Amino acid sequence: MITRSLLGQGGWTVYGISRNTTPEFDKLSGQYPGRLHWLSYDLLDSGG
């Protein structure tokens, strides 16, 4: 997983954008507090 690799290297902050998180994302968020962020957004609802 790219996210895990970037967080493992140190110095990176990762943002995820989706309607829902996954159990793996939640687990990584607990392992890397302050470096993994999730934004709740439906990319199909762009308002355009």
**Does 47 have pLDDT greater than 80?**
no
Q: What ranges do the domains of the chain cover?
A: 2-40
User: For residue 13, which of 40, 36, 38 has the smallest C-alpha distance?
Assistant: 36
Predicted TM-score (pTM) of this structure: 0.79
Per-residue pLDDT reduced to its tens digit, 9-30: 989 999 999 999 999 999 999 9
Radius of gyration of the chain (CA): 12
**Which residues are within 8 A (CB) of 1 and not within 5 positions of it... i.e. 6 or more apart?**
24
